[in-house]
Amino acid sequence: MPRPSRPISRRRFLQGAAAAAVAAVAAALPRGARALTPDAMLQIGHVQHGGNWNPRPTALRRLGWELGRRTSIEPAADAVPVRLDRPGLHRHPMLYLAGAGGLPAFSEPERAALRRHLMYGGFLLVDSADASDGTGFDAAVRRELAQVLPASPLQPVAREHVLHKTFYLLDRQGGRVLVKPWLEAQAVDGRLAVVYSQNDLGGAWARSELGDWEYPCTPGGEAQREAAFRAGVNLAMYALCTDYKDDAVHLPFILRRRS
Tens digit of each residue's pLDDT, the chain (259 residues): 444 444 555 545 544 554 444 444 444 344 443 444 555 689 999 999 999 999 999 999 999 999 999 999 999 989 999 999 999 999 999 999 999 999 999 999 999 999 999 999 999 999 999 999 999 999 999 999 999 999 999 999 999 999 999 999 999 999 999 999 999 999 999 999 999 999 999 999 999 999 999 999 999 999 999 999 999 999 999 999 876 555 443 444 444 544 4
Contacts by residues 156-161 (CB-CB < 8 Å, ≥ 24 positions apart): 156/182, 156/183, 156/184, 156/185, 157/182, 157/183, 157/184, 157/185, 157/192, 157/195, 160/255, 161/192
Other CB atoms within a 10 A radius of the CB of residue 258 amount to 13
* Helices 136-148 and 108-119, axial angle in degrees (round to 10): 70
Q: Bridge partners of 156?
A: 184
Please give the single-letter amino acid code of residue 96.
Answer: Y
Tell whether omega for the bond before 219 is within 30 degrees of 0, i.e. cis: yes
Q: What digits encode the pLDDT tens for the residues 83-100?
A: 999 999 999 999 999 999
Give me the pLDDT at residue 21, please.
46
- According to DSSP H, which parts of the chain are helical? 10-21, 59-70, 108-119, 136-148, 201-205, 221-241, 251-258
Query: Residue 256 burial by CB count (10 A; 0-12/13-18/19+): exposed, middle or buried?
Result: exposed
- The domains located in the chain, with CATH, are 10-258 (3.40.50.12140)
DSSP 178: -
Query: Residue 40 burial by CB count (10 A; 0-12/13-18/19+): exposed, middle or buried?
Result: middle
Q: What digits encode the pLDDT tens for the residues 47-80?
A: 999 999 999 999 999 999 999 999 999 999 899 9
Give me the pLDDT at residue 122, please.
96
Contacts (Cβ under 8 Å, ≥6 apart) of 18:
none
Q: Contact 56/98 with Cβ under 8 angstroms?
A: yes
Q: Contact 85/48 with Cβ under 8 angstroms?
A: no
Q: What's this model's pTM, rounded to 2 decimal places?
A: 0.81
